[in-house]
Amino acid sequence: MKRRCRKFIGLLRGINVGGHNQIPMSDLCSLCAEIGLGDVQSYIRSGNLVFSATATAARLEVLLEESIERRFNLQIPVLVRDTKDWLGYVKSNPFPKASLKEPNLVALALSKRTPKADATEQLRERADDGERLTQIGDALWIHFSGGSAKSKLSPALLDRLVGSPVTTRNWRTVLKLQDLAHSRSATD
C-alpha cells in the first residue's frame, strides 16, 4: 500500500545565529530535495522549512539530522511537525491579546520529546519581568513581556528543565509557517 504524501513543518535549532552553525537556506533546500522531500520551501535564515513527504515526523527528524551532519558536518537538532498539528498550535495560543500587540514577544516552544511533568512549574519559578508561561499538549507558550534577550529562560535552561532540545518561534513566524504550509499545492 502506497503511503500518502503529507505536509510538514521542520524547525532546525540554532542555525545561522551569531555566526555559528552556518547553513545557507538554498543549500538546505537542495539537500532536502536530494533526500526525497517535496515542495521544499524555507522561511528566513533561522531554519524553518515547509515540505511534503510520506515518512513519519519522527523518521523525518532523523533523516534530516543525519543528512545535515553528513553534508555540513554539524549536529543540529531538528523538530518536525505535521501541518495539522501546527494548525492546532495556532488555534491553542493562550496569549491572543499579547500576540496581536507584541507578536515578536510571544513564542511557541517545541521540544524533541514531551516536556517533563514538572517542566512548566519549574520554568514559571524562574520567569521574571512579568513573563508568562503555559503548556498546552506538547507545546510550551512563553510571553516574554520584557523581551527574550534579557530573559532568564535561556535555551540551555529550557533544554535542561524540559528534558530534551527545545526550539522557539515567535508568533509572527508561527503564523508565516502556517500560511506557507497552506499556500502550497494541496497534498492532503
Domain ranges in the chain with CATH number 3.30.70.1280: 6-86
CATH of domain 91-176: 3.30.70
Q: What's the rounded mean pLDDT across residues 48-54?
A: 96
Fold classified for 6-86: Alpha-Beta Plaits (3.30.70)
**Whether residue 67 has pLDDT greater than 60:** yes
Q: What share of the chain is helix, strand, coil (3-state, %, to 5)?
A: 40, 25, 35
pLDDT in tens, 128-176: 989 999 999 999 999 999 888 889 999 999 999 999 999 999 999 999 9
CA torsion sign, 151 to 152 to 154 to 158? negative
pLDDT in tens, 74-120: 999 999 999 999 999 999 999 999 999 999 999 999 999 999 999 99
Q: What's the rounded mean pLDDT across residues 32-36?
A: 96
